Amino acid sequence: MSSPGSSSLAAAGAHAAPAAGRYYRRFTRTERILHSVLMLTFVGCALTGLPLLFSDKPWATALARLLGGFEVAGAIHRICAFGMLAMFACHLVTLIRRGIANKSILGIVWGPDSMVPQPQDAIDLYKHVKWFLGRGPQPKFDRWTYWEKFDYWAVFWGMAIIGGSGLLLWFPVFFAKFLPGWMFNIAALVHGEEALLAVAFIFTIHFYNGHVRPERFPMDTVIFTGRISEHELKHERAVEYERLRREGRLAAYEAPPPTLEAQVWGWFVGGAALLLGIVAIVLIVYSLVH
Ligand code: HEM
């Protein structure tokens, strides 16, 4: 993230480092696959769910017709929903497996590799705001910044709420055996509203973090290639770089530079998602104000 002014331009220039040089692994293959499944299934759910939510709008009926009708859209929605829930379960399993492999279940909820917010995140946020206002130096970050953790938890709880309410809508006969009828009305309401919030959040804030902020413009492909250059690591994750260097663990993360194919693939998938996101936001805003 950057403040207005020359320092942000300097940061943007710094990001455009040559492809040669040292690279480090930031995401494992499993993490990259799970993120791709999440992207694909989220876009699938959004494309097939939004026509239901805005079924009185001409674009919604046109989109549903393009997908093969509302019934087919509902079927695709369930397939994507299943994929998304399976991805979520795999993510939880990988967290536990990592905790066991590192012999530290506590490491899942505490420490630099944890996504759980910690006091340092509040300090970083405070310093960042001060820097935005030109009242202090730019803070240095560790493996995860406070806004990356915010993105993660928005999706994590969103999964639980959208997934939970979606399962109620999917299997009403089963859940009606032990849940009162009003829960289904609430589930329908919560599912639609939370889905709208999730689409708005992912296609604006999350995409801003990945594509538009000065250090990343016009595209951050790290989630597709899994690699970060030494230059980026030193400048954008200075605390992590120093920590790994001090602990003598830097070499263990060294990796070959991303291939051209991986970079092109990242640009293609990221660009397609960005385009879809912009179209979705325009349609949603248009539908809400008309
Ligand atoms: C992850 C698990 C999910 C499950 C189990 C699930 C399940 C369902 C089901 C069963 C329906 C009713 C479909 C029909 O009537 O044919 C539905 C509707 C809908 N879903 Fe999902 N869904 C999930 C995720 C999502 C996601 C991620 C989004 C958006 C990004 C989404 C957006 C919607 C919308 C907008 C509707 C229409 C709601 C309405 O008509 O008020 N769903 N979902």
Handedness of CA 213, 217, 219, 225 (dihedral sign): negative
Cα 76 to ligand 1 centre (Å)? 10
The single residue listed with the structure tokens 């009003």 is 182
Cα 159 to ligand 1 centre (Å)? 11
Question: Could you give the 3-state DSSP secondary structure of residue 227?
Answer: strand
Choose which residue among 162, 170, 281 to substitute to test ligand 1 binding: the one with the highest number of ligand atoms within 8 A of its C-beta. Answer: 162
**Read out DSSP for 52-107?**
HHTTTSHHHHHHHHHHT-HHHHHHHHHHHHHHHHHHHHHHHHHHHHHHHHTT-THH
Quick: pLDDT tens for 6-42.
Answer: 333 333 333 444 456 899 999 999 999 999 999 999 9
Q: Is the beta carbon of 172 within 6 A of some atom in ligand 1?
A: no
When the pLDDT of each residue in the chain is averaged and rounded to a whole number, the result is 89
Q: How many domains would you assign to the chain?
A: 1
Angle, helices 70-101 vs 146-170, to 10°: value is: 130
User: Can you tell me the distance from the alpha carbon of 11 to that of 210, in angstroms, rounded to the nearest whole number?
Assistant: 15
pLDDT at 12: 38
- Residues of the domain holding 94: 2-289
Highest mean pLDDT (candidates 74-83, 107-116, 200-209): 74-83
According to DSSP, the residues that pair with 23 across neighbouring strands are 229, 255
Look at ligand 1, atom 14, and give the residue with the nearest C-alpha. 74
Task: Return left, alpha or beta for 213; rule: phi > 0 is left, psi -120 to 50 is alpha, else beta.
Answer: beta
pLDDT at 217: 79
Q: Closest Cα partner for 118 from 108, 128, 103? A: 108
Question: Could you give the 3-state DSSP secondary structure of residue 254?
Answer: strand
* Length of the chain as a residue count: 290
According to DSSP, the residues that pair with 227 across neighbouring strands are 25
Quick: pLDDT tens for 45-69.
Answer: 999 999 999 999 999 999 999 999 9
| 166: CATH | 1.20.950.20
**Side chain identity at residue 157, one-letter code:** W
Kindly provide the b/e burial profile for residues 11-44, where b requires at least 16 CB atoms within 10 angstroms of the residue's own CB.
beeebeeeeeebbbebbeeeebebbebbbbbbbb
Quick: pLDDT tens for 209-264.
Answer: 877 777 777 888 899 999 999 999 999 999 999 999 999 999 999 999 999 998 99
Q: Is the beta carbon of 169 within 6 A of some atom in ligand 1?
A: yes
As a whole number, mean pLDDT of residues 253-278 equals 91
Cα distances (angstroms) measured from residue 146 to each of 3, 23, 165, 224, 233:
16, 24, 28, 21, 17
Q: Is the beta carbon of 192 within 6 A of some atom in ligand 1?
A: yes
Quick: pLDDT tens for 163-208.
Answer: 999 999 999 999 999 999 999 999 999 999 999 999 999 999 998 8
Q: Closest Cα partner for 153 from 165, 161, 142? A: 161
